[in-house]
């Protein structure tokens, strides 16, 4: 039996879920913007205050590694690493897109489909990948500019389910009978549980000291247009 704390801060939702093996025990989450720093540790404390478990009962901490929000990822990873270091337990990373794809694959109505989770990267850009029904990648994670021709080579012979925060804007410009859009599945710690437990069983752990989020793109600080000096 493995008690795993799952932390998701890669997008708008700040989400924390506690699971025993594959079973969700408790979850706390909020879609309040820019709330990750103030809520993630509060949610962790609230979960353990409401349950019979303590932090010392944890067998591992899992965190989404990205891609996603630069600031959000830093907050989630820093929190997870701090817990793992202090409790001397393993750190598990889960790809944000992998978690979204896995949650969609588990939706029974999508038999024999391919799955394309998308994270909104502003304007018409998304971070995306395409997975088969066994969660193997058939298109690697990349930053893509969406057009009405995007993923056309995959859509020619496959029904693809598009999910995540970037799928809504893609649905507005794509007209293809092989494209299915599900905007209900979003980044959440509960979607990490199956993948994080699988990684725990196979002892796929990260180095707590050196692990860094997968940003995909470098963070760029923009200089203000109106200079004071």
Q: What is the secondary structure of 100-161 as a DSSP string?
A: HHHHHHTSTT-TT-EEEEEEE-STTEEEEEEE-TTS-EEEEEEEEE--TTTTHHHHTT--EE
Count of residues making up the chain: 229
Write out pLDDT tens, residues 140-181: 999 999 999 999 999 999 999 999 999 999 999 999 999 999
pLDDT for res 183: 86
**pLDDT at residue 78, as a whole number:** 97
Which pLDDT belongs to residue 68?
93
> What's residue 41's pLDDT?
97
Mean pLDDT calculated for residue range 20-30 = 97
Q: What is the pLDDT of residue 119?
A: 95
- Predicted confidence band at 218 (pLDDT cuts at 50, 70, 90)? low
Q: At which residue do the structure tokens 């994670």 appear?
A: 141
Q: Which domains does the chain have, with CATH numbers?
A: 3-96+187-201 (3.30.420.40), 97-182 (3.30.420.200)
Give the pTM.
0.91
CA distance linking residue 97 with residue 101, whole number of Å: 6
Please check the confidence at residue 110 and state whether its pLDDT lies above 90: no
Spatial contact of 38 and 45, defined as CB atoms under 8 Å apart:
no
């Amino acid at each position: 039996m493995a008690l795993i704390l799952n932390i998701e801060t890669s997008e708008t939702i700040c989400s924390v879920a506690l699971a025993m093996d594959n079973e969700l025990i408790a979850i706390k989450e909020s879609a309040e913007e820019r709330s990750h720093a103030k809520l993630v540790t509060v949610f962790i404390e609230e979960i353990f205050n409401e349950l019979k478990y303590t932090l010392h009962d944890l067998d591992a901490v899992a965190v989404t590694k990205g891609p996603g929000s630069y600031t959000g990822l830093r907050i989630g990873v820093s929190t997870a690493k701090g817990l793992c270091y202090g409790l001397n337990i393993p750190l598990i990373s889960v790809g944000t897109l992998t978690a979204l794809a896995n949650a969609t694959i588990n939706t029974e109505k999508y038999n024999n489909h391919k799955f394309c989770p998308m994270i909104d990267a502003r304007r018409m850009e998304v971070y995306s990948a395409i997975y088969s029904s066994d969660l193997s990648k058939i298109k690697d994670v990349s930053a893509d500019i969406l057009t009405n021709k995007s993923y056309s080579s995959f859509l020619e012979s496959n029904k693809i389910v598009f999910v995540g925060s970037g799928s809504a804007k893609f649905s507005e410009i794509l007209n293809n009978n092989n494209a299915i859009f599900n905007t209900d599945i979003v980044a959440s710690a509960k979607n990490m549980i199956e993948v994080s437990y699988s990684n725990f069983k196979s002892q796929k752990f990260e180095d707590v000291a050196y692990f860094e989020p997968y940003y995909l793109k470098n963070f760029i600080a923009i200089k203000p247009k109106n200079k004071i000096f």
